[in-house]
Structure 1
Amino acid sequence: MLSLGPKLGEFERGFASRVGVEPELVSAVSSGTAALHLAVREQGWGTGDRVVTTPLSFVASSNCLLFEGAEPVFCDVDPATLTLDPAAVESMLDERIDGLLPVHIFGFPAAIAELERIAAAHGLGLVEDCAQALGTVDAEGREAGSRGNPSAFAFYANKQMATGEGGMLISGSAEAADVARSERNQGRAPGMKFMDHERLGFNYRITDLQAALGIAQLERLDDMLAARAAIASRYSERFTAIGATEPGAGDPDDLVLPLADRGVERRSWFVYVLRLPKSVDRDGVIAELDRRGIDARPYLPCIHLLDLYRERGWREGQFPIAEDFSRRSLALPFYPALPEDSQERVVRELTDILGR
């Protein structure tokens, strides 16, 4: 079968086992965006609802709110973790806020237990964007997506595991998962007569070929995560040797490392992103690396400064921590099979460009 075939259930069961949730909560879909969209629908967020989320994420985390007519309400991030700052979230809450949508950005866990406490105290729904966080462990030792909140994962080619395109929704209840599985298949439900539809739905099906690839990727996941962690550790060791500092440990003109594991919290390495010194022309560094045959990127732009969101009234200067990181961010080559000599060359060339 092209889609909804025998590999689909096997993939969903394997993923559930890996994350530590019941299989009936898990629905494979066509992308991480599809998973997040269905999670937003599971919470019932729609026209007029206002949901607090981060400006420092891939645009899908906010677009999925717009899909349903809800409004993203941005909040600044913690300078070390780059995830939603719970204190900042709590300070902005009022009766007009309907939910929270934290993102485990770059594979580091958001302060999810604290955000859950805030949500419960104010009667808010909560969705976890885990698109970059397969294998992430939070401050309570729990895997991202395992806490009972609707949670969305992604399997795009650059993620910790990949199926080309693909995603996974972990629902908050078996009943909600049944609805999601109907919604992914144009609103149909198992056992319905041919071409009948019980609700509004979408073509969010994953193919059996993608599911088979996902099964194989799950078998290799621990090895791939370990390879990513080793590459990140090597980068950080080399940059520490030329004076790079931990987040919050130095001054604005430091070269700043990404935060690694912290106590119980474990990062699942998705990308390796440095913060360049404020005095350095980041775009000039990228251009010079490109001239030397090394692909590096700014990662990533703040959502509220994209044209679509500027048109909705957001402006520069509203979220200084997120904006500062975005202006200084430099994502280096990073994938599980990155050869050590290639990595050493990246470090050597960047060190030379920075004059260190």
Structure 2
Amino acid sequence: MIPLSGPDITQREKDLVMEVLDSGILGLGPKMRQFEQMMADYVGVKHAISCNSGTSGLHMLIAAMGIGEGDEVITTSFSFVASANCILFERAVPVFVDIDEATYNLDVTQIEAKITEKTKAILPVHVFGQPANMDEIRALASKYNLWVIEDSCEAIGGEWKGARVGGLGDAGVFAFYPNKQMTTGEGGIIVTDNDEIAELCHSIRNQGRGEDGLWLSHVRLGYNFRMDEMSAALGVAQLERIDEILAHRERVAQLYLEKLKAIPEIILPHVDADVKMSWFVFVIRFAETVNRDLVMERLSKRGIGCRPYFTPIHLQPFYVERFGFKPGDLPVTERVAEKTLAIPFFNSLTEEQVDQVVAAIQEEIEHAKEQVNL
């Protein structure tokens, strides 16, 4: 078995978690505050507000920015469903823009045509760890007085023209699920330079309590979106060695890029010259002649972890039922999504395992071609 992903946990993580357990302070404690300060410093912003997931972080930002019923937020359908669901949580409407076929990020040339008087924000997703074109997005946001919410959940350490993602819009969110570059088990964090947004998010994540912190004093609608101390301890240990973690992932990515380039039926990830990639997953795309689903099925039977990345949000049953989306609405997104596949990718993946994966992919492509010819 070669799994699709796996966390990178060392003795340091275990020691810090045990330190928390021994302290008896399991929530809203010093490890949470330490992790938040470390994240703010890492991104280069004034504020970091930890929470229990990236989804919660995105939801809080939508609420804190006053985006509500009937408002529109421009975003991508080529993403995990949370980046659109967070808009619906506040009864606003996601407006999907097609993607750039090379980077799989929002096609910035199509955004302006989707802006209406109801548009309140642009929510770019740095897909698979590749930063979106933030220059064009910020220019449009400035022109039309829109918020910019960076979904950086897949892109910690990624850079756009030398500046780290998360701090390039009005606010950003990172996520730390076990398949991410670094993990806190479950967890996420908001980063921002906006004092008002930070204050509101501190309150919203903690049941709407005011800044005075008085117990059972709630000044607004809030949620239990807090990060616990054990998760924060994991975050501290992981962030201490984030450069090492990202370097391991870069090593594995380069192995794949070198060994897969000889297979003509595979389109390899494209990395723009203006960005520093933060490798979240390694996603290949098959040529039109290859049956992706057949290859995926047979790889899985061989014990090689793989998943389609992504299934378009606008074609998810709930979105089709609610909004009437149909095939053909976002042709590039749909064409790409039919052929993309995430293959095993994690820090400790060895060159021998990479060779096994590459050989298996090549064999199964040949098998799929034979099935077509039959």
| One of 8, 28, 32 as aligned partner of 1:8 | 32
Q: Structure 2 counterpart of 1:278, which letter? A: E
Distance 2:170 2:68 in 1: 18
Give CA deviations for 1:290-330 in whole Å, capped at 9, x if unaligned: 22221111111000000110012111111111111110011
Q: CA deviation at 1:263?
A: 2.3
CA RMSD of aligned residues (A): 1.3
Give CA deviations for 1:230-271 in whole Å, capped at 9, x if unaligned: 11111011111233xxxxxxxxxx4200113x3231110000
| One of 6, 27, 44 as aligned partner of 2:49 | 27
Q: Structure 2 counterpart of 1:344, which letter? A: D
Q: Mapping of 1:200-279 within 5 angstroms?
A: 200-243=221-264, 254-260=265-271, 262-279=272-289
Distance 1:296 1:27 in 2: 33
Distance 1:5 1:190 in 2: 16
Q: Could you tell me whether the CA contact under 8 Å between 2:149 and 2:169 is conserved in 1?
A: no
Partner of 1:336: 347
Partner of 1:246: none
Q: Structure 2 counterpart of 1:294, which letter? A: I
| 1:353 and 2:374 aligned | no
Aligned identity (percent) is 42
Distance 1:49 1:200 in 2: 19
| 1:121 and 2:143 aligned | yes
Give CA deviations for 1:54-74 in whole Å, capped at 9, x if unaligned: 010000000000000000011
| 1:199 and 2:228 aligned | no
Q: CA deviation at 1:190?
A: 4.3
Say which structure is richer in strand: 2
Q: Structure 2 counterpart of 1:60, which letter? A: A
Distance 1:194 1:141 in 2: 43
Q: Structure 1 counterpart of 2:179, which letter? A: N
Q: Could you tell me whether the CA contact under 8 Å between 1:28 and 1:205 is conserved in 2?
A: yes
Q: CA deviation at 1:277?
A: 1.2
Q: Could you tell me whether the CA contact under 8 Å between 1:10 and 1:215 is conserved in 2?
A: yes
| 1:82 and 2:104 aligned | yes
Q: Whose RCO is larger (CA < 8 A, sep 6+)?
A: 2
Partner of 1:321: 332
| One of 157, 167, 177 as aligned partner of 1:135 | 157
TM-aligned CA distance change 1:349 to 1:266, over 3 Å: same
Partner of 2:165: 144
Secondary structure in structure 2 of the residue aligned to 1:26: strand
Distance 2:245 2:49 in 1: 23
Give CA deviations for 1:13-41 in whole Å, capped at 9, x if unaligned: 1111111112xx11000100011111111
TM-aligned CA distance change 1:172 to 1:46, over 3 Å: farther
Distance 2:306 2:42 in 1: 32
Q: Structure 2 counterpart of 1:295, which letter? A: G
Q: Could you tell me whether the CA contact under 8 Å between 1:148 and 1:172 is conserved in 2?
A: no
Q: Structure 2 counterpart of 1:299, which letter? A: Y
Distance 1:41 1:141 in 2: 30
Secondary structure in structure 1 of the residue aligned to 2:57: helix
Partner of 1:247: none
Q: Mapping of 1:47-86 within 5 angstroms?
A: 47-86=69-108
Q: Could you tell me whether the CA contact under 8 Å between 2:134 and 2:168 is conserved in 1?
A: no
How many residues end up aligned between the 2 structures?
A: 342
Q: CA deviation at 1:353?
A: 1.5
Distance 1:8 1:199 in 2: 23
Secondary structure in structure 1 of the residue aligned to 2:261: helix
Q: Could you tell me whether the CA contact under 8 Å between 2:295 and 2:364 is conserved in 1?
A: yes
Unaligned runs of 5+ in 1: 244-253
Partner of 1:157: 178
Runs of 4+ in 1 over 4 A off after TM superposition: none
| 1:307 and 2:317 aligned | yes
Q: Structure 1 counterpart of 2:135, which letter? A: A
Secondary structure in structure 2 of the residue aligned to 1:74: strand
| 1:111 and 2:133 aligned | yes
Secondary structure in structure 1 of the residue aligned to 2:267: coil
Q: CA deviation at 1:148?
A: 4.5
Distance 1:178 1:98 in 2: 20
Deviates more, 1:64-73 or 1:292-301: 292-301
Distance 1:66 1:326 in 2: 23
Partner of 1:185: 206
Deviates more, 1:89-98 or 1:324-333: 89-98
